[in-house]
Amino acid sequence: MDTTRSPPPSLLFLAASLLAAALGWLIVFAARRPSRRRSARLPPGTTGLPLIGETLRLISAYKTPNPEPFIDDRVARHGTGVFTTHVFGERTVFSADPAFNRLLLAAEGRAVHCSYPSSIATLLGPHSLLLTRGPAHKRLHSLTLTRLGRPASPPLMAHIDCLVLATMRDWGEPAATVRLLDEAKKITFNLTVKQLVSIDPGPWTESVRREYVKLIDGFFSIPFPFAHLLPFTTYGQALKARKKVAGALREVIRKRMDEKMENGGAKGEDDEKRDMVEELLDAEGGTFSVEEMVDFCLSLLVAGYETTSVLMTLAVKFLTETPTALAQLKEEHDNIRDIKGKNQPLEWSDYKSMPFTQCVINETLRVANLISGVFRRANTDIHFKEYIIPKGCKIFASFRAVHLNTEHYENARTFDPWRWQSKNKLQSAVGASLFTPFGGGPRLCPGYELARVVVSVFLHHLVTRFSWEEAEEDRIVFFPTTRTLKGYPINLRRRSDSVV
């Protein structure tokens, strides 16, 4: 006889009800999840070819005369200022949206952190100012401000003035043909070397500078495995050049360390004459290692050498192509020279009396965009509009795409320094958020004012001493860095009323 008892009908009904409720909840949850995923997705885009993604397309695009072809094409295709691609070895979200760029710059150290392609990271070194994060970056940034962020210092102003004039005296009398970019790089490199290691222009600085050219060329090359064994590649040559530059700096630093030990660790008496190596040796009880100091100095040489020299060259190119702007600039500087007298060096007060010069510099920075943008990596999921950029994703915030957008600047791709004189949104908080040639947030370039001073002093002595014309047609290229293709050769003639 079967002794098993069937469950009461009430229990069966309860179990069936609970099962139905659970299934219903699962159905609703499953129905909702795809919708949520559809609304919380990566920005649109494509990853391109396996492994290399769209890297080759990006490189070929920036070798054209168009300043922003890669981003322009994808913004037009996807209808949004934020899109996804795959470059330099990983998936990357590109932003041409000023609101998203502001978010990234302000969120440094929290929602995002600095992250550059491995080619740049390897060539600069892990202790460079560009790559350090958190407290390490803060202390290096502070040290940079101490040495390079005070251009009002009379010794620094005097040194800039003397260095520019010394370079111009080598141009010949009464006429000469020079490649302006090469001459500008001599000025900026020698100035930075002097501030870092107190070495005057000579064979040492020139030999290091030649290697720097190869190093910088490797920044946006493809970092092939075992590239150091392939010296015929751009990246292989850059690695070799990096080793030579680091070795030269390491030798100087160790020599200074030995001298400091011999002097019993005493500090120099004149703080204004101290250089960056002295600051590093004394900072935080002398805890910086040799390799930390080498990486830091190497990265500052890159910043001082490349960007300011290109800014000087392109300002002259744009002025040459805009005669009315050149005439107004000459008038401003001739007036300064008439007031000072012909043989008096420029001072801080003279720099502050160059308003149109600052308009020219602003417009050159905007049109040429020496720093096209910055790389960041998401520390957490970032919600922006209908998109979610997932934690760990690489992000590139493009300054150039914003600066050249006609929604923000009328006739955006035309050089117009007068736009900075009018009382419009460019002088407002909105304008400040749109114009970011030196970055922003905790990583605002500490040498931005020094760069303006160097360019202003250079333009002053150029226009008050020379007239010039293009020696041959030249054009701007944007890869691997912004520059002129031929170094901008010009024919110079000394003005009859100039000082020697």
Give 435-476 pLDDT, tens digit per residue.
Answer: 999 998 888 888 889 999 999 999 999 999 999 999 999 999
Ramachandran assignment for 134, one of left (phi > 0), alpha (psi -120 to 50 degrees), beta (any other)? left
The residue assigned the tokens 């990265």 is: 299
pLDDT tens digits, one per residue of 193-211: 998 899 988 899 889 988 9
Distance CA 268, CA 186 (A): 28
Does residue 153 belong to any structural domain of this protein?
Answer: yes
Mean pLDDT, residues 279-289 taken together: 85
CA angle 120, 126, 129 (to 5 degrees): 80
Does residue 389 belong to any structural domain of this protein?
Answer: no
Do 104 and 64 meet the contact criterion of CB atoms below 8 Å apart?
Answer: no
Q: Give the structural domain span for 142.
A: 127-371+437-494
Does residue 294 belong to any structural domain of this protein?
Answer: yes
Cα separation values, 9 from 5, 12, 13, 68, Å: 12, 5, 6, 74
Does residue 72 belong to any structural domain of this protein?
Answer: no
Query: How high is the pLDDT of residue 371?
Result: 85
pLDDT of 500 strictly over 80: no
Q: Binding site membership for heme: which residues? A: 445
- Phi, psi (5° rounding) for residue 488? 55, 75
Q: Binding site membership: which residues? A: 445
- Phi, psi (5° rounding) for residue 215? -60, -50
Does residue 228 belong to any structural domain of this protein?
Answer: yes
| Chain length of the chain | 500
Mean pLDDT, residues 156-160 taken together: 89
Give the residue among 494, 188, 165, 151 at the shortest CA–CA distance from 343: 165
Give every CB contact of residue 10 below 8 A, 6+ residues apart in sequence.
none
The residue assigned the tokens 């008050």 is: 464
Q: What is the CATH number of the domain that holds 443?
A: 1.10.630.10
In which band, very low, low, confident or very high, does the pLDDT at 120 lie, cut at 50, 70 and 90? confident
pTM of this prediction?
Answer: 0.84
- Class of residue 429 by CB neighbours under 10 A (exposed 0-12, middle 13-18, buried 19+): exposed
Distance CA 40, CA 382 (A): 10
Quickly list H helices, 341-490: 348-351, 355-368, 399-403, 429-434, 448-465
Mean pLDDT, residues 416-425 taken together: 82
Does residue 142 belong to any structural domain of this protein?
Answer: yes
- Class of residue 38 by CB neighbours under 10 A (exposed 0-12, middle 13-18, buried 19+): exposed
Query: How high is the pLDDT of residue 425?
Result: 59
Does residue 227 belong to any structural domain of this protein?
Answer: yes
How many distinct structural domains can be found in the chain? Answer: 1
What residues form DSSP beta bridges with 395? 93, 376
Query: How high is the pLDDT of residue 57?
Result: 87
Give every CB contact of residue 427 below 8 A, 6+ residues apart in sequence.
none
Query: How high is the pLDDT of residue 229?
Result: 63
Does residue 83 belong to any structural domain of this protein?
Answer: no
Query: How high is the pLDDT of residue 27?
Result: 35
Distance CA 344, CA 357 (A): 20
